[in-house]
Amino acid sequence: MNTLFGMYHTIGVSLSALVLITFLLAGTVKGMIGMGLPTVAMGLLGLAMLPAQAAALLIVPSMFTNVWQLMAGGHLRGLIRRLWPVLTMICVGTFAGSLWLGIGSGKSMGHALGAALLVYALCGLFLPTLKVPPAAERWLGPLCGLITGIITSATGVFVIPVVPYIQGLGLDRNELVQALGLSFTISTLALGAGLFWNGELGGSEIGASILALIPALLGMMIGQWLRRRISAIWFRRVFFIGMAALGVHLMIAG
C-alpha cells in the first residue's frame, strides 16, 4: 500500500490533484478521438513536474487503454505483418535514445517536449493526410519508426512522425484505429523499458501509474459519451489548438 501511494505522498496534494485531473482529461480525449492520452498527459504534467516523472505516470494508463484499442477489430495479424519494420525500429530508436539521451531533468528536455507537442499540433491542424506509396513503405516505415523512438526516449511523446505515416497507409477506419493502438502499445513498452533502464521507473512510480488508470478509464467513458453528442471534427480542432498552446509555453518556459 505504501508503494501504491508513495509517489503521491511525495509530490503533495496539489500535484496529486493535477495528476488525477490530467488523466481524466487525457482519457476523455482518447475516448473522443481514439488517441491523445500520452500526449495530453505529458503536455499538462510537463507544466509542473519533470518529463521523466510524467512519463513514468503514463505507463499503465497508456498501456491498458492502448491494448484495449489494439484488441478491437480482427486485423491484428495482418497489421503486425505489415508494420513489423516500423514497430521494430520504434523499439531500436527508443532504446538507443534512452542510452544516448534519456528523459532528462534539464530545461532542454522541457523545450524538446514543447517542440514535439507543437509539431504534432501543427501536423494535426494543417498537414493533409499523406499518401504513402506501397514502394516507399520498405524504407519510409523503418525511418519513421526510428525517429519516433528517438523522440519518445527524449520527450515521452510517441506520435511524431509515426501517426501521419500510419494515417497515410490507406487503412480503413477499423484497421487505422487498431494500427494506432498497436504502435502506441509497442511505444509504451519501449518507453517503460527505457525508463526502467535509467532508474526512472520503480515500485513507487508503477503504483502511482496504476492509480492514474482510474481517472483515465473514467475519462474514456466520458469521451465515448461525448463522441455521440458533439462534432468530432470540432473537438479535434480544439484539441490540437490546445496542444499547440501547451507546446509554445513549454518551449518558452522549459
Confidence (pLDDT) at 213: 94
Confidence (pLDDT) at 101: 63
* Cβ atoms within 10 Å, residue 180: 21
Q: What is the pLDDT along the chain (254 residues), one digit of tens a residue?
A: 555 566 776 777 888 888 999 999 999 988 888 788 888 888 888 888 878 888 889 999 999 988 887 776 678 889 999 999 999 999 999 999 888 766 655 556 677 778 888 888 888 888 777 888 988 999 999 999 999 999 888 888 888 899 899 989 988 878 888 898 899 999 999 999 988 888 888 888 888 899 999 999 999 999 888 888 887 778 888 888 888 888 888 887 75
Confidence (pLDDT) at 3: 57
In the block, cell 520498405 appears at 138
CB within 8 Å of 130: residues ≥ 6 apart: 164, 165, 167, 168
**Cis upstream peptide for 133 (omega within 30°):** no
Confidence (pLDDT) at 4: 58
Confidence (pLDDT) at 106: 53
Confidence (pLDDT) at 228: 81
In the block, cell 519518445 appears at 152
Buried b (16+ CB within 10 A) or exposed e, 192-205: bebbbebebbeebb
DSSP string over 212-224 = HHHHHHHHHHHHH
CB 57 within 8 A of CB 208: yes
CB within 8 Å of 85: residues ≥ 6 apart: 138, 141, 142, 145
Confidence (pLDDT) at 189: 94
Confidence (pLDDT) at 111: 77
Nearest to 191 by CA among 155, 153, 159: 153
Confidence (pLDDT) at 162: 92
Confidence (pLDDT) at 82: 93
Alpha-carbon distance of 68 to 64, in angstroms, equals 6
Confidence (pLDDT) at 212: 92
Alpha-carbon distance of 60 to 201, in angstroms, equals 11
